[in-house]
Amino acid sequence: MKSYLAAALQMTSLPDLEKNLVEAEELIELAVRQGAELVGLPENFSFLGKEEDKIAQAEAIALKSEKFLKTMAQRFQVTILGGGFPVPVNSTKVYNTALLVAPNGTEIARYQKVHLFDVNVPDGNTYQESSTVMSGTQWPPVYYSETLGNLGLSVCYDVRFPELYRHLAHKGADILFVPAAFTAYTGKDHWQVLLQARAIENTCYVIAPAQTGIHYAMRQTHGHAMIIDPWGVILADAGDKPGVAIAEINPSRLEQVRRQMPCLEHRVFV
């Protein structure tokens, strides 16, 4: 593993596939121009709209999203995570799928989100992700890279389930991806502290691309795409506008924190 720059992109995705992909391409190019070698896109990067519209367009969204990720990775010669897009299971359900793509345009890891957001938020919004999404059945993967470090995948609501991240750490993860479309109401209180907790307890870097702003109707997300170091220090924060959070992933810092605070070696219950 070497030192390199990683980028967590922040978008305001809409119920418009083509427009979202144009915005995503512009942000990827911006990150690459700043030197990023690892780029993460948020959950729902290619489409964020009503559930019935997502299902109606799911096949097109899936095909174009996957092609887009592979094209961008190859064009810019970077590793890219597409943080979540629908892949049809049948006519009424999709998997919320995160896809990691290598610089040569090949798929290197895929994760189907296991924890679905079925919550009545106190701001009056009700979310029922399971109405259109089928829960994945497999633990998220760790992609082992000699140059970038070991990359563990997750998606959004997963961040509230620490056992998932302990599994990734147990499998050797150095970097935890948490691409999200966190609600504005819960995000203001929980987003940052949950990300810091996942970084600290697993002594891992956290790369958290995010959605921000108003997407349609009452759907509003928190923003603050972040990169956090293994000590819990926020290295970059994209604020509340579309943009890029970019920071160095440093193996020396990772080794230092794990040497000073060897929590993973002290586990009693594994």
Residue 123 exposed, middle or buried by CB count within 10 Å (0-12, 13-18, 19+): exposed
Nearest Cα neighbor of 5 from 106, 78, 71 is 78
Is 93 a known active-site residue?
no
CB distance 100 to 108 below 8 Å: yes
Q: How many CA atoms lie within 13 A of 130 on its CB side?
A: 9
Annotated active-site residue in 37, 54, 66, 156: 156
CA gap 225, 239 in Å, rounded? 7
Cβ within 8 Å of residue 137, ≥6 positions away: 112, 114
Annotated active-site residue in 43, 54, 64, 204: 43
Annotated active-site residue in 37, 70, 113, 204: 113
Is 204 a known active-site residue?
no
Is 43 a known active-site residue?
yes
Phi–psi pair at 98, nearest 5 degrees: -100, 135
Catalytic machinery residues: 43, 113, 156
